Amino acid sequence: MSAEKDKSKVHKLSLKGSSKLIAEFFEYSINTILFQRGVYPAEDFTAVKKYGLNMLVTSDDQVKAYIKKIMSQLNKWMTGGKISKLVVVITSKETGENVERWQFDVQLFNKLSKKSSKDTSKPSGKENAVPTEGSEPPPEKTEKEIQLEIQSIFRQITASVTFLPQLDAGNCTFNVLVYADADSEVPMEWGDSDAKEIENGEKVQLRSFSTSNHRVDTLVSYRLAD
Residues near other proteins (CB under 8 A) are 35, 38-44, 47, 54, 60, 62-63, 66, 69-70, 73, 84-85, 103, 107, 111-112, 114-115, 118-119, 122-132, 134-135, 161, 166-167, 169-170, 173-184, 186, 189-197
Q: Which residues are paired to 209 by β-bridges?
A: 216
Burial of 162 (C-beta count, 10 Å sphere; 0-12/13-18/19+) = exposed
Q: How far is the CB of 82 from other proteins (least distance, A)?
A: 9
Residue 128 or 142: the one with the smaller Cβ distance to other proteins is 128
Q: How far is the CB of 142 from other proteins (least distance, A)?
A: 25
CA dist 137 and 67 (Å) reads: 30
Nearest-approach distance from CB 13 to other proteins, in angstroms:
22
Q: Which is nearer to other proteins, 24 or 197 (CB)?
A: 197
Minimal distance, residue 181 CB to other proteins, in Å: 6
Q: What angle do CA 75, 79, 85 make, to 5 degrees?
A: 70
Please, are residues 178 and 195 in contact by the beta-carbon 8 Å criterion? no
Cβ 107 to other proteins shortest distance, Å: 5
Name the residue nearer to other proteins (CB basis): 111 or 141: 111
* Closer Cβ to other proteins, 3 or 42, answer by number: 42
Write phi, then psi, for 185 (nearest 5 degrees).
Answer: -75, 130
90 or 153, CB closer to other proteins?
90
Q: Output phi, psi for 90, to 5 deg.
A: -100, 125
What is the chain's length? 226
Asked if 16 and 79 count as a contact pair (C-beta separation under 8 A), the reply is yes
Helix (H) or strand (E) holding 92: strand 83-92
